[in-house]
Copies of this chain bind each other. A is one copy, B any other.
Amino acid sequence: MSQIQQASIQNRLLRALTSDDFSRLQPHLETMTSQLREDLIEAGEPIKELYFPEVGFASIVIDGLAQKIEVGLVGREGLVGAAPLLLGTDCTPQQSFIQMAGTLLRIDAGVLRIAAQESTSLRTLLLRYIHTQMIQASLTIYAHAALKLESRLARWLLMCHDRVDGDELVLTHEFLAMMLGVQRAGVTLALQNLEGAGRIQGRRKRIRILDRDKLLQLVNGSYGAAEAEYARLIGGA
């Protein structure tokens, strides 16, 4: 039974906890590795466990009649399952699964629910995180309603980049297309544009971010506000 030290943790929420709150959760955190496309939370199923990503990240999607569309991204800044648990429901019509494999810290839902009831500081922190998720969702609405594919793609690459170590994203055009709700060929073309302008560099199953600033010039205000709220309410990187 290895002791997990707060200082050695990647997850920004766990790092932002008071040491009291951390001590409360620490005995219940279990390290696990995640597999690509592994389901963490299934739509309509009772939530038994929540997951603090340490490396890699998850997608929250809504499964419409036609397609699965991504409505949120949870990496080391977050907690998978936070919203349903803290907002008082045991299940949700959304689904969460691993989008980039890595490691997670798993915690039992009941334990976390009680901890959040007992500790105001823990509850406040997690609710603030949920606020940043709502802002993120608002901007996703804006992006889909107002922006062209190339801009939405730039936004998505930036959000992805924030959640990995290094500059290389491992994912296929096919998958990107699914998340953004467009066809795969369109993603290929948009990526080629971005690559031509020196913003990224693509290889098979890999996209390397070369120039964040140039990507930021494309996003038309759809990136940044949620991240600013996170910094303001929860804390620095």
Contact = CB atoms under 8 A, between A and B. Distances in A.
A233 B138 contact: no
Given A137-B134, A141-B140, A146 B181 contact: yes
Nearest to A181: B145
A71 to B, nearest CB: 4
A138 B94 CA distance: 8
A164 interface: no
A127 B86 contact: yes
Interface in A46-76: 60, 62, 64-67, 69, 71-72
A127 B64 contact: no
Contacts of A87: 127-128, 130-131, 134
B142 A71 contact: yes
Main secondary structure of the interface of A (DSSP, over half): helix
Q: How many chain copies?
A: 2
A14 interface: no
Interface stretch (A25-33, A100-108, A218-226): A218-226
Contact of A89 (B65, B69, B131, B180): B131
A141 B62 CA distance: 9
Interface string A94-132: 100000000000000000000000000000100110110
A144 interface: yes
A84 B132 CA distance: 10
A202 B88 CA distance: 41
Contact of A144 (B94, B127, B134, B145): B145
A158 interface: no
Interface of A: 60, 62, 64-67, 69, 71-72, 83-84, 86-89, 92-94, 124, 127-128, 130-131, 133-135, 137-142, 144-146, 180-181, 220-222, 225, 229, 233
Nearest 7 CB-CB pairs, A to B? A145-B181, A144-B144, A87-B131, A65-B221, A71-B138, A62-B138, A87-B127
